[in-house]
Chains A and B, each alone.
Chain A
Amino acid sequence: MAKGNPILMNGIRHECITPVSALDNEIGIRSLADYESKARYVPDGKPGGYRAIQHVLNNMSPEQVIDEVKASGLRGKGGAGFPTGLKWSFVPKDHPGPKYLAINGDEGEPGTFKDRYIMEDCPHRLIEGAMIAMHAIGAEQTYCYIRGEFYDSLRLLDDAVKECYAKGYLGDNVFGTGKRMHFQVHTGAGAYICGEETSMLSSIEGSRGHPKMKPPFPAIEGVFRKPTIINNVESIACAPAIIDAGAGWFTARGTEKSPGIKIVSVSGCVRNPGWWEIEYGTPIGVIVNELAGGLLPGRKLKGLIPGGSSCPVIKGEAAYDVPFDYEGCVAGGSMLGSAAMIVLDDSIDMVGVMRNFSKFYAHESCGKCTPCREGTRWMLQIHQRILDGGGTMEDLDLLIDIINGIEAKSFCPLGDAAAWPVRSAVERFPEDYIAWIEKSSRFNALKENGNGSASPAGSEEAAEVEAS
């Protein structure tokens, strides 16, 4: 295990293990990256870069590529886990004009740090994957949308693209086959919503990053109103491995419904935050305790978010037994999301965490639809008021009502993403809220007036509070 740069977390300096494939094989994404000499990612050189795309160009029809990816069971790594091969097959084959591939490298989800390492450490893997995808869907142009803050990713990926153009891997005559394949790197301006696929397309077009109505789905009418396939960086970077080693290699790993490998990024109250490539289905306990080094001494697990800030918090050590795959996380009361594990130990106050989350979502809400625009701000205001000592028991009901108004009713999933974690916190950790509220002057003033009732669990609990 190589040691990488230390990163700062919670003000404590942690040694961060640079990502290493937990699978210890040649084919995972990480294993082909090579810091020192990216130039070695050349055909026939070690370790076999651009072998898959040449094989595809010379021997495989687009349908065969799509079938291979379908057979591998590859699921989109951007959050929703939609089967990638199936998505590719949605592009209308007989469409006359241009088609596009758009790669989502926005990586805005708090807690997620995987795509940037792919773009920085193994950009050629991504470019090769994009070429395979372009071949499969019949596109000649890729836009890779990189989050505005990722200066290094932009620079390193751009260098790699230039290198490919210089070598004739990209351009109007790819590997001498006469095919056109272009790759354009595009940066955002730092808006989380631009990771949502339709917003990302709007942003690429130069418009405001507001999500658009579906249908038409991007595969039919996407960027510049042309058929467009959108995939996460990691999904695309998996393609060369699938072609190289075959779908069977992929399905041999992971679970039946979540086959293959996944990068998980672990942050929060662990000794060694970092990212690892794991098989789906690995128990969360293994990831936290074996890969991330476990919690700090003397700490107990209070809650764990398996998939990034948009997912509900799983309460207590039960989280360790949850298998890390799509179905397992849902059964465990949360979601796999973008596989950004946030570990919270018993020193953490949930109200503070949720205030931070709400602040993030209130800031990142695009403002298009009413529930998310107004609801996220309202949630933030309530959390802030509770922390400022102005909470009342009614606030818990109110929060749930606001969440009911946002969840499944906002235009795009950002609203849900803002609502889910707060719901889980209010429902699963009410004691954290009540602790603040009991200290609040407003609550105590109401109580003195004989009016401090209506706690979320009903009046008995309030009565208990009063009695104690």
Chain B
Amino acid sequence: MAIKDIEYVTIEVDGKPVSLRKDKPILWGLRDQGFDIPYFCAHKWLDPLGACRMCMVKVSWNGKPMPKLQISCAITPAEGMSVETRVDEVLTARREQLEFHLINHPLECPVCDKGGECMLQDQTYEHGCGEGRYTENKKVRSDRQMNAYIQINYKRCIHCKRCVGFTDEIDNSHLLKMVSRGAESWIESYPTSDDLPYFSGNVIDICPVGALTATNYRFTMGRPWEQELTASVASLDSTGTNIWLNGRLGHVARIIPRENEAVDVGMLDDATRFSWESIDDPSRLRKALVHDNGETRSVKLAMAQELLAEKLSAILEEHPSDSVGVIAGGNRTTEEYMSLRHFATRVLDTRWYAFGEDLAGPEGMSEVVLDALLSGATSIEHILAASTILTIGTDLWEEAPVLGLRANVEVRKRHRRLVNLRSHGSKADDFATYIDYGYGNLLRTVRSATNALLGSGARTPEGDRLADSLRQVGDDCAILYGSEVWRDPQAREVIVAIQDLRDAIRRANPDCAVYSNAVYPSANSAGALLAGWFTKFGRPGSGKESCGGIGKVLKAAADGQLKALFICDYDTLSRYPDRQLVEKALKATGLTVYAGSFGNPTSTHCSFHLPLGTWAHFDGTVVSLEWRVQKRRRGQIDSVAPSLSELVNGISGDMQRGFLGTTEDMYSQLRHNLEFWPRDEFGKFPYKGVLVTPRAKLNANRSAVSELPAEYGAGAGELVVIPKSFLYNDRDLLANSPVFGKVAMPFHAFMNPADMQAQGISDGDTVAIGGITLTAKERDWVRSGSVVVNDFCHTAPANSAGGPGFTSAGIKKASLAGSGA
């Protein structure tokens, strides 16, 4: 499909020539150009509905007026058209329709949360008639909870049905429906008991009045005009969704979408939206904790810092280099990663530093893999415009929700093709071509598809099916790959094999553009890559190179090579796929330090727990999966804990090793080191971010491999355990938001009905998988022969599912023992 040039046509509006997009209803273009046409039911995401009748204008064709007024939300411009927006007939019609809208509306703007940002309020002020003539009884109906997040106030509803349109057309959840008829009709919700809402919060934004409000916001967080808005970027996934972070009186008031038409078009996922409470969570760590001889002391950060500096200096005196391990988690800014790497390489003089959310598997990153990761990436706009979208081992809905949502909409509404190579079903199954590769056989399937496309080498039926679906991809094809690749023990090979597949698709479809983007496991994995956390990047001389992977760091620690382990914001115990290795590493290392905003299993295992501010507290850049560099800005909220840069600067100072540099310094270094980095100044960074094309001078000669690895499968009586990245995983940010306590998070063993029947397990039974017990849930999207569990959670650590000897990175058969509840 590719992105097409936009066509314009000039029509006459109120006597003036106006140029408008040919493919869009005139309402949008005219409003953008300052014609104040009121509207309620139309929305840029939705098909025109024509329900509210506010947007009527007078239309003539070649001077001949049409007999009726026309709704501008539904007509597209064409040659010979002229439009009147301010003639009496139109103004009267607006007043009439507004009067109808208001007859049942309560006069409660002063206590309504929408007051100040309400379309009805604004438009009544602009176009209304000042007084009402309705003296009959108004309709009433009492408020009701629509799902865990949303409450409806029926009296305020103006029946525009935008909310229904969203749940039908956009997120396909069919959560909201209009029931009954005529003036008696109302909006009813039909939540499915098991599925969590993923995008429901968007209906709050698009409700033009205060009918739909957020349960954790209504009546408590003040009025919109009292809030200070900060342009920031969502922190739970690598889409780079833009948000407003609203602060009031030093606290977070809410998170709402900030429209960036190139990224999110104003959509936001529920997890990000409602996670704001965690930022101010009173249980968040504000002082340092020192665990000493089984005793925990809460001390001032400065004291803990001094103590730590002393201990680190002592270690370095004895073992001057490569004696400390440093691990960084994926939700910090690129500048923080720069500081921490300086701390690791300059102060601690170690090469044992690595990124928590692994990309390349236990053997670590190499230049060939890095090259494969960087090549072929494109923008979200191009991905969504592609005629074929191929996902490999990623459930976009969970791993990059807004991108996933937008892709689903494109596929359903604009008839794009979606091909999913996956290990279990997803929400896209209704409209996607999907190929089950059988968990553990990703490399085998990708290589075999390449072989099939090239017509040489060994093949498998799954590979053939994938190849068949890729023989005619249209103008362009966008490949997206994610969590199942990162978790594969052969991740390095898979990443490279995907590039081979990309070449093969291009060979099979001459003139076709083929892109490939990684869906990263965390919000700023890409930033960490650029800051040199995986392998050298950019100009030489920027310090000691990383050992290449967290697996190596942990192994070195477990082997007793490391004297200290410094872990930043990465719950290693819960999240690293091999829990036993982490336990060993922590036990074998004398000094363990955890720096992070929240307490978790790892922090309690460490001798020091130092507080950090959250993502919302500091300025800094993050890099998204489309390589868009964006700036997260500090919210108008009080912070009581330092940023990672401030913390390591402090420790370095206490160790008499000097100052590593401010955030701005780090930014300048990035700009200096990477020639593709945006040229903008830190203080004047563009609000919508800057798309970059990362290039690294790499020594990467890739040669296609066509051999297939052996087939992987479960033995008799066993099931393959598939760890899955859920949006609602037990992340610190979610676990500490009270509103999420009300939604049941899916820490379950999701099983195929046939398997459950065969094993005599019923829905809700407790099952043991290796070392953990989980509640069995019957789901038909799970493939028979496998069981899907969360890839991590605090309470039932899925990474210990295999019990002792769990060595491969995530693929594990486990015998299941069902025990009736």
The residues of A with any CB-CB pair to B shorter than 8 Å are: 191, 193, 208, 213, 362-371, 373-378, 381-382, 385, 398, 401, 404-405, 408-411
Which of A374, A401, A408 lies in contact with B183, CB distance below 8 A? Answer: A374
Within the complex, the shortest CB–CB distance from B100 to chain A, in Å, comes to 4
Determine if A373 and B182 form an interchain contact, defined as CB atoms under 8 angstroms apart: yes
Q: How distant is the Cα of A409 from the Cα of B99 in the complex, in angstroms? A: 14
In this complex, what residue of A is CB-closest to B73?
A213
Determine if B96 and A376 form an interchain contact, defined as CB atoms under 8 angstroms apart.
no
B50 and A385 form a contact (CB under 8 A)? no
Which residues on B are within 8 Å of A, measured CB to CB?
A: 47-54, 56, 67-69, 74, 92-93, 96-97, 99-101, 103-104, 133-134, 136-137, 158-159, 161, 177-178, 180-185
The answer for the CA separation of A213 and B73 in the assembled complex, in Å, is: 11
> B430 CB to closest chain A CB, in angstroms?
16
Contact B97 A408 (CB under 8 A): no
A409 proximity list for chain B (CB < 8 A): 53, 56, 68-69, 93, 96-97
- Minimum CB–CB distance for A95 against chain B, Å: 17
In the complex, are the beta carbons of A373 and B185 less than 8 A apart?
yes
Closest to A398 in B: B133
Query: Contacts A213-B74, A408-B69, A409-B97 given: A381-B178 contact, CB under 8 Å?
Result: no
Nearest chain A residue, comparing its CB with the CB of B179:
A208
Interface pairs (24), CB distance under 8 Å = A193-B181, A213-B47, A213-B48, A362-B182, A366-B182, A367-B182, A368-B49, A368-B161, A370-B52, A370-B53, A370-B54, A371-B100, A373-B100, A373-B183, A373-B185, A382-B136, A398-B133, A404-B92, A405-B96, A409-B68, A409-B69, A409-B93, A409-B97, A411-B53
**A364 neighbours in B (Cβ, 8 Å):** 181-182
User: Is A371 in contact with B97, judged by CB distance below 8 angstroms?
Assistant: yes
The B interface, classified by DSSP as helix, strand, loop or mixed, is: loop
Q: Which residues of A contact B96 (CB under 8 A)?
A: 371, 401, 404-405, 409
**Closest Cβ–Cβ distance, residue B578 to chain A (whole Å):** 51
Residues from chain A with Cβ under 8 Å of B182 in the complex: 362-367, 373, 376-377
Q: Which residues of B contact A213 (CB under 8 A)?
A: 47-50, 74
Across the interface, which residues of A come within 8 angstroms of B181, CB to CB?
191, 193, 363-367
* Chain B residue at minimal CB-CB distance from A207: B168
Q: In the bound complex, do residue A411 and residue B50 qualify as a contact, i.e. CB atoms below 8 Å apart? A: yes
Q: Are B50 and A369 in contact (CB under 8 A)?
A: yes
Minimal beta-carbon separation of B337 from chain A (angstroms): 51
Task: Give every chain A residue within 8 A of B97 (Cβ-Cβ).
Answer: 370-371, 405, 409
CB distance from B190 to the nearest CB of A (A): 13
Q: Which residues of A contact B51 (CB under 8 A)?
A: 368-370, 411
* Assembled-state Cα–Cα distance A376/B53 (Å): 15
Closest 3 CB pairs of A and B: A405-B96, A367-B185, A365-B182
Q: A420: shortest Cβ distance to chain B, in Å?
A: 14
Query: In the complex, what's the smallest C-beta–C-beta distance from A244 to chain B, in angstroms?
Result: 39
A373 to B159, alpha carbons, bound, how many Å? 9
Q: Are A378 and B103 in contact, with the CB atoms below 8 A?
A: yes
Contact check, A369 vs B101: say whether CB atoms are below 8 A apart: no
Counting chain A CB atoms within 10 Å of each CB, which of B92, B96, B159, B185 scores highest?
A: B96
Neighbouring A residues of B159 by C-beta, 8 Å: 367, 370, 373
Q: How far is the CA of A191 from the CA of B74 in the complex (A)?
A: 26
A371 touches which of B49, B53, B136, B137 (Cβ 8 Å): B53
Task: Give Cα A412–Cα B97 distance, bound, in whole angstroms.
Answer: 15
Q: Which of A369, A385, A404 has the most CB of B within 10 A?
A: A369
Contacts of A208 in B (CB 8 A): 177-178
Assembly CA distance A364 to B181 (angstroms) = 7
Contact A374/B104 with A213-B49, A408-B68 known, Cβ cut-off 8 Å: yes
Q: B100 — which chain A residues lie within 8 A by C-beta?
A: 370-371, 373-375, 378, 405
A173 to chain B, nearest CB (A): 35
Closest B residue to A362 using CB positions: B182
Bound CA span A59–B213, Å: 66
Q: Which residues of B sit under 8 angstroms from A368, Cβ to Cβ?
A: 49, 51, 161
Most chain B beta-carbon neighbours within 10 Å: one of A370, A376, A398, A408: A370
A181 vs B203: C-alpha distance in the bound complex, in angstroms? 45
Complex alpha-carbon distance, A405 and B158, angstroms: 17
In the docked arrangement, what's the CA distance between A213 and B101, Å?
21
Cross-chain contact B48 with A367 (CB below 8 angstroms): no
Residue numbers in B under 8 Å from A367 (CB-CB)? 159, 178, 180-185
The residue among A362, A374, A376, A409 with the most chain B CB atoms within 10 A of its own CB is A374
Chain B nearest CB from A374 CB (Å) reads 4
In the complex, what's the smallest C-beta–C-beta distance from B73 to chain A, in angstroms? 10
Give chain A nearest CB distance to B630 CB in angstroms. Answer: 38
Q: Considering only CB atoms, which chain A residue lies closest to B74 in the complex?
A: A213
Cross-chain contact A374 with B53 (CB below 8 angstroms): no
Contacts of A191 in B (CB 8 A): 181
Q: A215: nearest residue on chain B (CB-CB)?
A: B74
Q: Please, how many angstroms separate the alpha-carbon atoms of A382 and B92 in the complex?
A: 22
Q: Chain A residues near B74 (CB, 8 Å)?
A: 213
